[in-house]
Amino acid sequence: MKANIWYGREQLRVENVPDPKILNPRDAIVRITSTAICGSDLHIYDGYIPGMLPGDILGHEFMGEVVEVGPEVKNLKVGDRVVNPFPISCGACFFCQQSLYSLCENSNPNAWLAEKLWGHSPAGLFGYSHLLGGYAGGQAQFARIPFADVGPVKVPEDLSDEQVLFLSDVFPTGYMAAEQCNIRPGDTVAVWGCGPVGLFAIKSARLLGAERVIAIDRFPARLRKASQWADAETLNYEQVDVAQALEVMTGGRGPDACIDAVGMEGHAHGVFGTYDRLKQALMLDTDRPTALRQAITACRNGGTVSVPGVYGGFLDKIPFGAIVNRALTVRSGQTHVQRYLKPLLELIQKGSIDPSFVTTHRLRLEDAPRGYRMFRDKQDSCIKVVLKPWADVPTVDADQVQESGRILH
């Protein structure tokens, strides 16, 4: 099969590798029909995720058709159309039983390695470093899904791939980020980052009853999506002083909840920005927590800072004093995707939300390296890239592939 393979920082190649096989009784194999590039993949692409090895297959947002099931998988059969959640979870351990799926105790074969860095190990993830299991990812034509009786959700035929694909990660991630804010009537929620995660967080905050949502980014196309799709007020941090603007907008008190949907590669101008970049480049620091610092500082007393943005290691100059003295609640985590699959699928079926809204680019799997570059550099107003692993097979009209690589709909 073809797969998108990581060979080092900014080095991706789509190559032929052997097809995956069933390795354990609870495995299944899917033929992937759609797979997406995530902001988390960009951290790998830029070389900030430790524990990657050249030759790793990337990708954790995918869906497809079941082509083989192991003897212990009773709930799926060949031919089922499924979306797969990005954490690998056994369904039986202490954490899985509390629906804390991304903390599964049994799915990381390299748990000892994660324990060295973080003290304890979370769940294994698809295509996300050997620290998190070293599982082959889903930017490929086929994938092997461990614990397939727990993860994948069957999706109805009348919904298109793109309406359901983002159940694999970014929709539940944005939703959990908003849910963690414990939104009450009248609340204002500020969201740093209007990538797919930020946009889903903004939309979800609306669905969960936020009075106002304030979206912060610097790319006009992304800010426009936020205001069109979720009626958010927007702040371009290159044009206004965010801290001051938030204070004025919230009557001097600050937003009731702040969401950091930016993560470890926060962008910033000025002294702090240069300082973080330098430290990260010299490997003195693992992360650039620009947005997190701002979110903590801006949040109202006793408010919640929700952090779906991914951080990897040790963060510098985090105003912990503000957290203690102003009694802030900080909540974070890799998303417990399995917990949200059914309820969010229902929202899609009811028409409360159409996730395909975030997709801007549809490319063939072979174009993955270009897709990464475009998404990383936010070229061509790119917000979300969906890859089609079988696009050069006659079922998709090759004429639809334009020069720019964008398939029109």
Ligand X SMILES: NC(=O)c1ccc[n+]([C@@H]2O[C@H](COP(=O)([O-])OP(=O)(O)OC[C@H]3O[C@@H](n4cnc5c(N)ncnc54)[C@H](O)[C@@H]3O)[C@@H](O)[C@H]2O)c1
237 binds, among another protein, ligand X, Zn ion, none (CB under 5 to 8 A by kind): ligand X
Selected binder of ligand X within 84, 89, 173, 360 (CB under 6 A): 173
Sole binder of ligand X in the list 309, 312, 355, 371 (CB under 6 A): 309
Instruction: Tell me the three-class secondary structure of the chain, residue by residue.
Output: CEEEEEEECCEEEEEECCCCCCCCCCCEEEEEEEEECCHHHHHHHCCCCCCCCCCEECCCEEEEEEEEECCCCCCCCCCCEEEECCEECCCCCHHHHCCCHHHCCCCCCCHHHHHHHHCCCCCEEECCCHHHCCECCCCECEEEECCCCCCCEECCCCCCHHHHHHHHCHHHHHHHHHHCCCCCCCCEEEEECCCHHHHHHHHHHHHCCCCEEEEEECCHHHHHHHHHHHCCEEEECCCCCHHHHHHHHCCCCCCCEEEECCCCECCCCHHHHHHHHHHHHCCCCCCECHHHHHHHHHCCCCCEEEECCCCCCCCCCCCHHHHHHCCCEEEECCCCHHHHHHHHHHHHHHCCCCHHHHCCEEEEHHHHHHHHHHHHCCHHHCCCEEEECCCCCCCCCHHHECCCCCECC
Is residue 286 a contact point for another protein (CB under 8 A)?
A: no
Q: Is the CB of 28 or the CB of 310 nearer to ligand X?
A: 310
Positions in the binding site for Zn ion (CB under 5 A)? 38, 40, 89-90, 93, 96, 104, 106, 169
Scan residues 136-175 and list those touching another protein (CB under 8 A).
136, 140, 144, 146-147
Q: Which is nearer to ligand X, 70 or 174 (CB)?
A: 174
Q: Nearest distance from residue 68's CB to ligand X, in Å? A: 28
Residue 219 is a binding residue for ligand X (CB under 6 A): yes
Q: Is 222 in the site for ligand X (CB under 6 A)?
A: yes
**Which one, 255 or 309, has the nearer CB to ligand X?**
309
Closest distance to another protein from the beta carbon of 190 (Å): 38
**63 touches ligand X by CB under 6 A:** no
Q: Which of 310, 348, 386, 387: binder of ligand X (CB under 6 A)? A: 310
CB of 5 to Zn ion, least distance (A): 18
> Binding residue for ligand X (CB under 6 A) from 31, 218, 373, 406?
218
Is 339 one of the binding residues for another protein (CB under 8 A)?
no
Binding ligand X (rule: CB under 6 A), the pick from 103, 189, 261, 305 is 261
When binding is defined by CB under 8 A, the residue of 43, 81, 130, 388 that contacts another protein is: 130
Residue 219 interaction partner, one of Zn ion, another protein, ligand X, none, beta carbon < 5-8 Å per kind: ligand X
Query: Which residues here bind another protein, judged by CB under 8 A?
Result: 1, 3, 5-7, 13, 15, 17-21, 23-26, 53-57, 72, 88, 90, 92-94, 97, 105-113, 116, 124, 130, 133-136, 140, 144, 146-147
